[in-house]
Amino acid sequence: MPTFPLTLAAAKDAEKSRWAIGDALVQECGPPGDDHTNNGTGMKIAAAAEFLGANGLEFSESYLRRLRKVAYSFSDVRTRSSVSWNAHEAAGSPKILESIIRGLPEGTKATGAIVKAARDRAYVDERREREAARDRAAAEEKAARVEQREAADALHAATTEGEREVAKRQHLAAWKRAEKASEEKARNKVAPEPREVSIDSQRVPAMLLAHQINSDLAVARKAIAEATAKAAASARDRVLDLGQVNIDNMVESALEVAKEARRLVGQGERWRRYTRDKQIAPSWRARPWRSWGGGKHEQLYPHLVSGAGNS
């Protein structure tokens, strides 16, 4: 079994510093793969977790991966600020963490939850901006392609050299516009990486406010759901407490509703058969009523034939 003395020493230090464990893992297991790619270090992380367990220290593989990832993302100790390790993990990069801390209102502590809320909001905003830019580019490309075809038609129909030159210039300009729009559309096709979002410090308070409003709405929805369930339970209890007379009245009303429902279902079934037969023999209406099927429709659709004579 491979050994990890640095990781073991850091872990035995009563977990005073998660940074120390992460740094030891980076040194002994290697850095994580770029963009979640498998660079073969995952087996080393598993071996490190097993080694620590054999020495009486229980650390899950996922937790060790997190420690290593944050330590690697903030490998320069100068980028490790005084805020909590959770805030560093939520930020994902020194640039994002610095922008969020700089934009926080005075007196607001950069906790992991606040940093995550700001970064998540920035990610949503940037994704929406990219989607809007992609849609604008798609519309621009479509319009340019139309102009390009029109210029090609004008070039084909030109009768003088001057007309041909004008059509060529228009065709070239439309082609350039379409290609530029196509590149812009492709550039905004993929959603941004969460760790690569750009955060304007001046927008951080607005981001946190938007996050708070969304959180309040979620709490309100939960409260409404709980109140609705409570009201339904209370109504059910009141129904169970009703006297026999009230229950008899409710049953009678329910039977009336069921009777009316059966009537509507029967009427719907008759109409279904009527339209079915009409599709089978669409010319029946042009013939005397009783001569079509021996009065069959008189039996099936009496509400249609009353006073009809010949339809």
The single-letter DSSP state of residue 15 is: T
CA–CA separation, 62 vs 69, rounded Å?
Answer: 10
Residues 101 and 237 in one domain: yes
Strands (E), 13-148: none
State CA 102 to chain mean position distance: 30
Please identify which residue in the block is written with the tokens 């798609």: 138
Confidence category of residue 301, pLDDT binned at 50, 70, 90: very low
Show the domain range for 104.
85-241
Beta-carbon neighbour count of residue 129 at 10 Å?
12
pTM value is 0.54
pLDDT of res. 182: 93
Same domain membership, residue 32 and residue 102: no
Q: Is 22:13 a contact under the CB 8 Å cutoff?
A: no
Does any domain span residue 228? yes
User: Residue 94: inside a domain, yes or no?
Assistant: yes
HSE, side-chain direction, 13 A CA sphere, residue 190: 8
Domain-ending residue, one of 32, 52, 73: 73
For residue 73, count other CB atoms closer than 10 A to its CB.
Answer: 21
Residue in 10, 49, 48 with CA at minimum distance from that of residue 29: 48
Q: Within a domain: residue 119? A: yes
Residue position matching structure tokens 């009353």:
306
**Highest averaged pLDDT of the listed ranges 39-53, 154-168, 217-231:** 154-168
pLDDT in tens, 194-242: 666 777 777 777 777 776 666 666 666 677 777 777 766 666 666 556 5
Q: How far is the C-alpha of 103 from the C-alpha of 111, rounded, in Å?
A: 14
Which residues touch 71 (CB under 8 Å, ≥6 apart)?
19, 21, 22, 23, 25, 26
User: Do residues 31 and 164 both lie within one domain?
Assistant: no
Are 108 and 45 within one domain?
no
Q: Same domain, yes or no, for 104 and 183?
A: yes
Dump pLDDT digits (tens) for 117-149.
888 888 888 888 888 999 999 999 999 999 999
Average pLDDT, the chain: 76
Given a cut of 60, whether residue 302 has pLDDT beyond it is no
Q: What CA–CA distance (Å, rounded) separates 21 from 64?
A: 8
* In-domain check, residue 52: yes
Cα 299 to Cα 187, 212, 278, distances in angstroms: 70, 68, 15
The predicted-structure confidence for 4-23, as pLDDT tens digits, reads as follows 877 777 777 655 578 888 98
Instruction: Report which of 52, 53, 84, 57 is spatially closest to residue 70, judged by C-alpha positions.
Output: 84
Tell whether 179 is covered by a domain.
Answer: yes
> Tokens 């509507």 label which residue?
264
Question: What one-character-per-residue DSSP string does 146-179 give?
Answer: HHHHHHHHHHHH--SHHHHHHHHHHHHHHHHHHH
| 67 and 105 together in one domain | no
Q: Are 31 and 124 members of one domain? A: no
Distance (Å, whole) CA 105 – CA 107: 6
- Measured distance CA(298)–CA(300) in Å, rounded: 6
- Has residue 140 been placed in a domain? yes
